[in-house]
Amino acid sequence: MPDSVRSAAAWSWRLLLIGLTIAAGLWLVTQLKVIVVPIAVALLLTVLLTPVQRFFRRHLRMSRGLASGAALIALIVVVAGLVAIAGQQIVSGFQDLRDQAVEGFEQFTQWLADGPLGLDSTTISHWLDQAGTAVSENQDSIVSGALGAATTIGHVVAGALIALFCTFFFLLDGRTIWSWVVGLLPLRARDNVHQAGRRGIVTLAAYTRTQILVAAVDAVGIGIGAAFFVPSLALPLGILVFVGSFIPIVGAIVTGSIAVLVVLVAQGWVQALVMLGIVLLVQQIEGHILQPFLMGHAVSLHPVAVLLVVAAGSFAAGIVGALFAVPIAAVLNTVVLYLHGHDKFPELGTDDRVVVRGSPQPPVIARAEADLEDVGARRRSRAGAGEDSAVVDPQDAGPVEDTPGETR
């Protein structure tokens, strides 16, 4: 048998095994998505709120727990405020939009009769009757779909509560939780995994902050364009674009299309074409300036790779997969490269050590405690000789300096 065939066979069963492992992992994640998705959201919120928590601790002198709670409450207040303002504008602008939609539909039917198609009123009425009949026949499906949407909303609310709960404890005890996770690994693998995890978190933080900047540019650009045509709905459309832009490339296109449809209903096709031009301009700025420079630097992924990863994530897990595909790919890229000897963040160094309960102490701690014992022994000796009137226990001689990043 030729060597090429043997080599191909050897690679084939290995690739097949890897593919089966990945498929099993994706299946398990799908089954546990009620837990996995909130934890993933909590990780994103944690890296986003960590600078806020640090600000509260340094400048307002808050404890870690109080700063974590304050950062989380600040996030909730901002989100609730935006939702309240957007909801108020939607309610106030809905009546005008409905009237404009009715007027636009009447103009459309009039164009069908008087325009180049030359349809008579009987044909148009027949089409409208067929549409009404179709809605009536599918009423049960519509009701079941509404009930399914209500169930989905319930799951979203439950997931949001889990995400907020996890975010608080990630901010409060993230180091302790990470130490426990690392402690599950073999001793010789702990340091490499810890260092790779540090770099993965830095990558995730860079992605999150960069994506917020990109989403803000999209939202401001499209929101300003919408303000010229539907002022009452400009803010809700801007918020929709901001949220949708967290799905790279695809999200802003979809939400921008919604803005174009709203302008089409409210103002007509000429204004809708202008709005479409604004959306395309914003997309060009994002695709040719923001994504290559900002996102490419933050996650080190080519735009083609980003698009393919988003497509694969959406195919595997729908909107959730599209949302988390790029950050997962970016973190995996950083971690795998570090484990194979290529450090994307050499400035982080390797001095930081995670202390796992029950594991051998780091050399710095061992030396410091040995020195502390010597200090205590000398003081006890002097006290016995009458040189010192107090016997100092080693634990009272002063705190041991933590290793960089260690929590006690």
In order along its 408 residues, the chain shows pLDDT tens digits of 777 888 888 888 888 998 899 888 888 888 888 889 899 999 999 999 999 999 999 999 999 999 999 999 999 999 899 888 888 877 776 666 666 666 666 666 666 666 666 666 676 676 666 666 665 666 556 556 555 555 667 778 888 899 999 999 999 998 899 999 998 988 888 889 999 999 999 999 888 888 888 889 899 999 999 899 888 888 888 888 898 888 777 777 888 888 888 888 778 788 889 999 999 998 888 777 776 677 666 677 777 787 888 888 888 778 888 888 888 988 998 999 998 888 888 888 777 776 666 555 444 434 444 444 554 555 556 555 554 444 434 333 333 333 334 443
| Interatomic CA distance for residues 114 and 43, integer angstroms | 58
Does residue 287 lie in a domain region? Answer: no
Copy the structure tokens of residue 316: 């595997």
Please report whether residue 334 resides in a domain: no
- Buried residues in 95-118 as b, exposed as e (16+ CB within 10 A): eebeebeeebeeeebeebeeeeee
Handedness of CA 224, 229, 232, 237 (dihedral sign): negative
Residue 47 confidence (pLDDT): 92
In a domain, 98, yes or no: yes
pLDDT of residue 399: 37
Q: Which residue has the tokens 């919120």?
A: 45
pLDDT of residue 287: 73
Any domain includes 106: yes
Among 234, 256, 259, 236, smallest CA distance to 247 is for 256
Domain membership flag for residue 166: yes
Domain that holds residue 54: 31-119+153-173
The rounded distance, in Å, linking the Cα atoms of 186 and 110 is: 75
Evaluate whether 337 touches 194 at the Cβ level (below 8 Å). Answer: no
Number of domains the chain is built from: 1
Q: Tell me the two tokens of residue 28.
A: 């398990």
- Contact at 8 Å (CB) between 251 and 245? yes
For residue 66, tell me if it sits in a domain.
yes
**Contact call for residues 356 and 201 (beta carbons, < 8 A):** no
The answer as to whether 185 is a domain residue is no
Counts of helices then strands in the chain (DSSP H, E):
12, 0
Examine residue 355 and state whether it is found in any structural domain, yes or no.
no
